[in-house]
Amino acid sequence: MIVTQLLLLAAVAGQGPSVIHQTTTGWCSPIITNVTGNVRVNCIGVDPRALKRLNLELNRTNKELTAKIDEANDWAERYHELETRLNEPGPNEELAQQAENALHEGELEKAKEILDRILEQDEKEESRIAAHNYNRGLIAQLEFKPLEALPYFDKAYRFRPANPEYGGNYGRVLLQQHQYALAEPVLMDVLKRIRLLALKDPQKHSRELARILHNKGTLEAETSRFPDAEKDFNEELKVTRELAKTDASEFNVFVSRALTSLGDLYANTLRYDPSERAFKEAIVLQRGLPESPLNRDILAQSLHSYSVLLGKMDRDDEAFAAMKECVSIRRELAMANPAAYDPDFASSLQTFADDLRGAKHLQEAETAAREAVAIQTRLAAANPDAYRSTLANALGILGNIYGDAQRHEEAQAAYRQSVDIFRELATAAPSAFEPDLAVSLANLGSEYFNAGKRKEGEASLREALDLEVRLSQLSLEAFGQRVVESASILAGMFILAKDFDRAEPFFLQASDMARRLASLKSTYRPLLAQQLQALALIYIQSSQWDKVAPVLDEATKTHKELFAADPAHFGDLLATDYFLSSQWLETKDPAQACKFVGQAADVARNPEMKQGFKTELEDCRKNADDPHPR
């Protein structure tokens, strides 16, 4: 008899213009000659004495190389901006010259003291007050003290909101500090102003327009407002494509950035085909960049994201190949300069470990995951703000591997550490980290459930489900399927405990969400049919016969249509529908019940299921004393 196996299967399946123009690689590039830990950068036009200060501060951040180069480029831009501004004529030219000399010498504290004196001596004239406050904020930025810079940028922006330099930089720093509520109105105001300027002089202002669009889109993506983010990233892409027509060598990297942002967004909202097109084009552009470690890492980053997408599309061989190339590139880079490339390497190791797990290579998966956790633990100890979330992700992957290996205590310990980290992060920044917290809670709950700890499993899964329901109200496509999955897991727990009354509300919740998704896109029809199938199962098991026919008929109709287009994928699901129909009719119409079992045997693709249905058919005919062979 395969009745129990089938029932369980059905239940749980379930800024302004600069004087010096940047090049493709920005102001700064890495000098990878120091293999003992720190990476050094060289920046165009920066006094060597100031550059020494930059490298000292930069290597205290212990961020991944791409983030360090981004920060270095931003630092150099602020350096040149302040240098230019201190040369402007005014009543405090002598003090301004002293401040510029201190800037060139890398004596930022001295420059800060001089600018404070200028502020004290300044007359109450708004333009000059705004300019000197902005200069003072730039010094704080150069010291890598963004929180200290913010009050000065705020004053500059309030005195002169029409100056896009003030607002653009202010909004970007607010975004970097995850102060989304304050950043958004600033970015929206600056975008409105810079858009008008770009219409008048595209060559001068389009680069800054693209930057503001990127920052605003990033804010919206990080706060799960995906339609708004998509609109901004698409406009960024349009602007950068126009810039690339005039100088592809300089602007293709910006086109690539916009494409990558769109690829990530499409993947997060389950639009896999446009996501793949975006990633493919980004990768082609990145393969055409000049050969350098930094550009190879940019390529590796896109390969990483593309691999994740391919995995979601069940194209495992392609996903594995893309991630293998990514890991190979990053291992080579990390061997040459660990401090520069270990963070990126650890991130790719995590995904590679998950791919290995999916291929059932658990020992290799564990080795890769443990290596990633070790790197992330070291990084998080040095810089918790930057790396605690990536450590939590690595722990979650290690927990998955332990769970598959039936090492339940180790799996639970890894998941609990992941939940604890994300819970703390979500308290400070809910929009950014609540989705991760929900995933970690669901993983922990499922593991408790698999280890027989039903009470603990239910508590974690309920908390995850409540979070996902709330998140689905912000983005149905991004979080709706996760509601379905968590509700189905909870229902499956109760089915295994034969508590059908408590299972039913969760399958109803899952099927309702699946129906809402299917109304948006037909690609969700299989998900809906699966939930209806599960509902029919519990109605049969709990003898609620009047509820069986509507849900089972709808599930069977959908699976028939899907089976006609893809028999290999939907044969077993349709077979399960037929078998459930036979269970429903077993006492009402035994002969018809046997016919459904025969149909199940005909369409089943899994050999074990097919044979099981054949055996069931023989028993059915004997019990029904059916004289008519099929």
Ranking 83-87, 191-195, 360-364, 511-515 by mean pLDDT, the lowest is 83-87
- The most distant pair of C-alpha atoms in the chain lies apart, rounded to whole Å, by 110
Q: Is the pLDDT of residue 361 over 80?
A: yes
pLDDT at position 483, please?
A: 93
Q: Identify which of 60-74, 265-279, 312-326, 487-501 has the greatest average pLDDT.
A: 265-279
* Residue-wise pLDDT tens digits, 64-86: 555 566 667 667 676 666 667 66
Q: What is the pTM of this model?
A: 0.57
pLDDT band, residue 224 (cuts 50/70/90): confident
**Please, are residues 435 and 224 in contact by the beta-carbon 8 Å criterion?**
yes
pLDDT digits 0-9 by tens, 124-153: 466 677 787 888 888 877 777 778 888 888
* Mean pLDDT of the region 218-240: 93
At residue 45, the pLDDT reads: 63
The structural domains of the chain, with segments of one domain joined by +, span 290-375+388-393
Distance (Å, whole) CA 313 – CA 322: 14
Give the pLDDT band (50/70/90) at residue 422: very high
CA–CA distance from 129 to each of 67, 425, 461 (Å)?
A: 33, 37, 55
Q: Are 539 and 547 in contact (CB under 8 A)?
A: yes
Task: Give pLDDT tens digits for 394-406.
Answer: 999 999 999 999 9
Alpha-carbon separation of residue 607 from 368, 572, 601 (angstroms): 34, 10, 10
Cα–Cα distance between 581 and 589 in angstroms, integer? 11
For residues 381-405, give the mean pLDDT.
90
- Return the minimum-mean-pLDDT range out of 15-19, 222-226, 444-448, 595-599: 15-19
Q: Going by C-beta distance under 8 Å and a sequence separation of 6 or more, which residues neighbour residue 200?
A: none
Most confident of 23-32, 180-189, 472-481, 493-502: 180-189
Residue 113: which region, alpha, beta or left (left: phi > 0; alpha: psi -120 to 50)? Answer: alpha
CATH 1.25.40.10, domain 290-375+388-393, yes or no = yes
Task: Write a three-state SS string for 538-563.
Answer: HHHHCCCHHHHHHHHHHHHHHHHHHH
Read off the pLDDT band of 91 (50, 70, 90). low
Residue 217 and residue 219: Cα distance in Å, rounded?
5
Cβ density class 565-581: b for 16+ within 10 Å, e for less: eeeeebbbbbbbbbbbb
